Amino acid sequence: MRVVSQQKAEKNPAAGMDKKEIVKQTAALLAERFPMRVRLNEPLKNHTTYKVGGPAAAICIPASRAELQEILKFCHQQQAAVYLLGSGSNILVHDQGVDMLVFRLNKCCSEISHTDNLVYAGAGVLVAELVKYCEKHNLAGLDFMAGIPGTVGGALRMNAGAFVGEIGDRVILIDAMTYQGEYLTMKGDKAGFGYRRANHLQDKIMLGCQLRMIQGTREELESAREGYLAQRAAKQPLDYGSCGSVFKRPPGQYAGTLIEKAGCKGLRIGGAMVSPKHANFIINYENATAQDIFQLIHKVQRMVFQQFNIWLELEVKLVGFSDEEEKKVFKPN
């Protein structure tokens, strides 16, 4: 889940410090105040499915929404940049890490409940947990998401989906928070859901959502879940670290098909490889670095562009990469 605070200034006028110094000082103060919630210089490779990435200035795991609000307000006052991380399944973190305070919501937004056919899921809940909860309570409508990695918050922000639907199809209300620590509620139809996007959620922190489900039976839902998982296992390289699909589907095309036709299957840079099983997966095949993966992403884009004049758009989110690096992969050069 990628949401970076909007403070862009390199200098804090009041303190006379640059961005890195502000974050470092803020992290130290938070570690003193919340020693059980804050870990300094935490390697992000321990929190991503790619298993790569350098350290964050600190990782914060609030125990409650009130604690999250308190810490966010403090970070805002200090003008310290923050980043929201779900399960780390759709991101690539730079080898040098990030000069930000990284938040995880797996403790403070982990509730699941339902009344009749309305389900409430916290943003820190794993999608797999939500699917199984619905199955247990005979609630259909999200079984197609079986096997999708990540959290509910991340799924909302990218309108995650597969096979026959997207999570946005079921969302009726969203609880969120601003980076200033203010609560807000939004109707699902105001989120701007589209293909792998939710335009009006990008500057907000997801706290949870209410979903309208339909009646089903546990046996049917279990069978459907197992079927979707079998399809994923047959097509996707689940034995290696990856971010899932690297590229979005171009209009009228499939990214994996274009990559395969361009001759990229099995292509390697360092320890990164284009999966021989599914070409839209770049895997951590053998102790890859983030730079290995990044360079391979760019090479695949260039090879596909040379043959088909289509520039593949990233689905994976880049974290900690410079503007110059990002320019390489966001448009032909």
Tell me which residues are annotated as active site.
196, 245, 315
Q: How far is CA 307 from the centre of its chain?
A: 30
Residues 94 and 182: beta-carbon distance below 8 Å: no
Residue 188 has what DSSP assignment? Answer: G
> 28 burial class (0-12, 13-18, 19+ CB within 10 angstroms)?
middle
Sign of CA dihedral 120, 125, 128, 133: negative
Residue 232, H or E segment: helix 218-235
List beta partners, residue 268: 273
Give the span between the Cα atoms of 178 and 7, in whole angstroms.
Answer: 13
Alpha helix stretches (DSSP H) within 262-333: 290-308, 323-330
Three-class DSSP labels, 107-153: CCCCCEEEECCEEEEECCCEHHHHHHHHHHCCEECCHHHCCCCCEHH
